[in-house]
Amino acid sequence: MPGRFALYASAEQLADIFSVQLPEKVVPRYNISPSQQVAVIRNLGGENHLDFMKWGLVPSWADDMAIGYKLINARSETVFEKNSFKRAIRTRRCLVPISGFYEWQSSGSAKTPFYISMADNKPFALAGIWEQWKNPDGSIIETCAILTTTPNRLIETIHDRMPVILHPQEYSVWLDREVSDPATLKQLFKPYPAEVMTAFQVSTIVNSVRNDGEECIIKVDSQDDTGLLFN
């Protein structure tokens, strides 16, 4: 998918890894959900900038912002063909820095949440695209979506999709607005190596967007789960 993620890296880490000025507004988040403001990094005027956008892409031609609720993710296999994404993928790409993300493993009617991150617990970046939408009142709203791909061997035991995770050496290519060739960009859409990632079960407290504390990423056994419903 993903449908939720966490970003609790320090401002110093983000500034160093993504070559941006020291962010002021980044606070630890453990349960970021669609329609909320998320940190993104894009290259403007030859420099990387950390900005905030609403998660859920609203194309410039949309009549209603509500379309963004359906466009939190973009399938990398069709992103160059879909009307909602084909303009953004060529010139409006961004990095979405995260500490880890959640996927839910289905078994019958039961859904078990897992937290997935790098084994070294360092922040990393998802491939994102962004758009600008003009409100009827004239204000400009910026929104984004996350690209997805087929899962690696770790995540395929949990879910049939995973986000496109970029290697650090690929950041500059992804952010370069002069690069628009589909063949070049599609090379970046491969599943990230499973051997450098980790995944473990977490409590279903993450199902509720009201829960946004460090307890969301604590490993639990199935018998320890609280059994909260999605909300």
- Spatial distance between the Cα atoms of 216 and 203, rounded to a whole number of angstroms: 7
Q: Show the domains of the chain with their CATH numbers.
A: 4-111+120-196 (3.90.1680.10)
Measuring CA to CA, which residue among 18, 35, 206, 12 is closest to residue 126? 18
Q: Are 14 and 97 in contact (CB under 8 A)?
A: yes
Residues found in the chain:
231
Q: pLDDT per position in the chain (231 positions), as tens?
A: 689 999 999 999 999 999 998 888 789 999 999 999 999 999 998 999 999 999 999 999 999 889 999 999 999 999 999 999 999 999 999 999 999 999 999 988 889 999 999 999 999 999 999 999 998 888 999 999 999 999 999 999 999 999 999 999 999 999 999 999 999 999 999 999 999 999 999 999 999 999 999 999 999 986 555 444 443
- Spatial distance between the Cα atoms of 175 and 226, rounded to a whole number of angstroms: 41
What pLDDT score does 231 carry? 39
What pLDDT score does 140 carry? 94
- HSE-up of residue 193 (Cα within 13 Å, Cβ side): 4
- Spatial distance between the Cα atoms of 57 and 66, rounded to a whole number of angstroms: 10
| C-alpha torsion sign, points 157, 161, 163, 169 | positive
Structure tokens that stand for 41 in this block: 């990094």
Neighbours of 70 (CB within 10 A): 11
What pLDDT score does 227 carry? 47
- Spatial distance between the Cα atoms of 162 and 151, rounded to a whole number of angstroms: 5
What pLDDT score does 221 carry? 81
Q: Are 170 and 18 in contact (CB under 8 A)?
A: no
